[in-house]
Structures are given as C-alpha cells and as structure tokens.
Amino acid sequence: MSNNRVNPDSSSQLELMAQNRSSTENNGRGQWEAQQDHDEQGIIGANTTQQSTGCCGILLMFISMLVVICTLPFSLFVCIKVVQEYERAVIFRLGRLLSGGAKGPGLFFILPCIEDYRKVDLRTISFDIPPQEILTRDSLTISVDAVVFYRVKNATVSIANVEDAGRSTKLLAQTTLRNVLGTKNLAEILAEREGISHYMQSTLDNDTDPWGIQVERVEIKDVRLPVQLQRAMAAEAEASREARAKVIAAEGEQNAARALKEAADTIGESPCALQLRYLQTLNTIAAEKNSTIIFPLPIDLLNAVGAMKK
C-alpha cells in the first residue's frame, strides 16, 4: 500500500494563489464600482433617481402592470424591445433615469405609458468640419477643413448631460479648430499638421468627457490659400530658385577658371604639350568631317615676326 502525502509547500502555494486570485477579483470589482460611482456622479440629476417615486408613482406602476397582465400576450409586442449589439437603451421611468445604467444589448422590458427609452449608437461616427476662414498669427487668411472621428463611451451621460451630443461635438470641433490654428503661423500649419491634429484630438477629448463622448482621431484634410497669396508664394519660390541657379552657375565658372589656370600652368612648363594639344584638336576636327580647318599660329612666332619688322 502506498501512502498519499500532501506536501506542505504545495498546499501553502495553493493557498497563496487563492488569496491572490480573491484579492485580484476584489480589486477589479472595486475599480468597476468606483467607475460606476464616478459615472453616476457625473450625470445630471443622478441623486434624484434614488428618491422614492411617491404614492402616485407607485399607483401608476401598479396600473401599468395590471394593464400588461390583462392584455397578455398582446402587450408583449409593446413592452418587449430589442437593441443591437452596438446600441444601448437609456430608460426613463416617470421622467427619471432608472438605476443600473443603460440596457442592452438584447431584450429588455418597459412598462407602457410610464416608461420611455432612448437608443444610443456606440459605433464610431465621423463628420466633416466645414471650411473655416482663419486668420493666422502672421496675419494671413486661409481656409481649413478637417474630419473628426468620435464615439459614445457612456450612453447614459450622453443623453442626460447634453441635449444633442453629436451636434455639440461638431460645434465644439469647429471652435477648437479656429482657436488652435489662430495661434499658429502659416509655416507651422503647413509643417506641423500631425502635431496640430493630435493636440486638437486631446483637447476635444477632454472637453467632451462630461458629455460621455470620446474623440478618437482628428485629421486636417486641406489648407487652401487665397489666389493672390498663391501667386506671391510662387513668385517668391521662383525668385529663390533663380538665385540658387545663379549661385551654382557662378560657382561652376569659378571652378572652370581655376581648372583652366592649372591647365595653362601645366602646359606652360612644357612647350611640347601645347603642340600635342594642337594635334589632338586637329584629330577631333577631322573626325567630324568639317570642310574648314583653323590653323592657330604660335604666339612666339608672332612675337618673332613683330621683332623682325622693328
């Protein structure tokens, strides 16, 4: 017979793992509850939802339930609602938010006549910022448009805290675009478009957080300049290119003159080199089948003829 013995080290390890797992679950539950409390504190009228509905409210709820029971199964077509996976339903009972947050996805039940609900789409939504006439820091008028991507991260807050979260986000995006680009000059706008987009995204995300909106991305689409400014910039660029071309041509002439001077010094050291160069020139002219050949006269010969005349 074999005796099964339990290792004390392994049992202590199991107990330690169980304690760690329970502490992790408690921490996760505490963080979730803290987040829920934070979200509920940010909702307008969150404290009033926990108050009693009163005798009239209880009476209306009893009558509504009685109507549902008496009209079964036809009342199920009115009371049972469905929301998609990407949607949430915010339910109001007698004008007050129901505790527990938004419902969905799937089936949920509402009481007729005393409960109402609003559907909220949680998918990412994009919209174009209309072209904005902006005066830059260097007193230039430009037209800039952009595109914004956002989504609803808290359906209850987006319904309770703002009348129209989408429209408010659009108006805030237009104002933010004008304010941010108004502090930049034209060169910074053209060169730092990515940095400006990231700054706008972080600013909009912070400003729309009380509305339950998360701005995911902002991109500047186009920067349009006035026709007169385009012509002035084109003339400036053309003048700059011409100036660089002249500088390059002058540097080439300087290098060519320096090379010719070195060649002349080398040929001057050996008189036979000039005669060899002359023969190479005749060979090149003859290869092109020209009918005219120019014979240069040496300078020494001309000097000797001039001395004989004197």
What dihedral do alpha carbons 223, 227, 229, 233 form, nearest 10°?
A: 90
Cβ neighbours of residue 93 under 8 Å, at least 6 residues apart?
A: 53, 61, 111, 114, 115
Cβ neighbours of residue 92 under 8 Å, at least 6 residues apart?
A: 98, 115, 116, 117, 118
In this prediction, residue 4 carries a pLDDT of: 44
Rounded mean pLDDT of the chain? Answer: 79
DSSP string for 170-193: HHHHHHHHHHHHTTS-HHHHHH-H
Higher local confidence (pLDDT), 33 or 20: 20
In this prediction, residue 237 carries a pLDDT of: 81
Higher local confidence (pLDDT), 299 or 126: 126
pLDDT digits (tens, 9 = 90+) for 56-69: 878 887 887 888 88
Nearest in space to 100 (alpha carbons), one of 88, 87, 111: 88
- The greatest distance separating any two alpha carbons of the chain, rounded to the nearest whole angstrom, comes to 145
Nearest in space to 43 (alpha carbons), one of 151, 159, 152: 159
- The neighbour count for residue 213, using CB atoms within 10 Å, is 25
In this prediction, residue 174 carries a pLDDT of: 92
pLDDT digits (tens, 9 = 90+) for 250-306: 888 888 888 888 877 777 777 677 677 777 777 777 766 666 666 666 666 666 666
Rounded to 10°, the helix 165-181/193-207 angle is 140
pLDDT digits (tens, 9 = 90+) for 90-122: 988 888 888 778 888 888 888 888 888 899 999
- The neighbour count for residue 204, using CB atoms within 10 Å, is 23
In this prediction, residue 39 carries a pLDDT of: 52
In this prediction, residue 214 carries a pLDDT of: 93
The pTM is what? 0.62
Token pair 């004390």 in the structure block, residue: 8
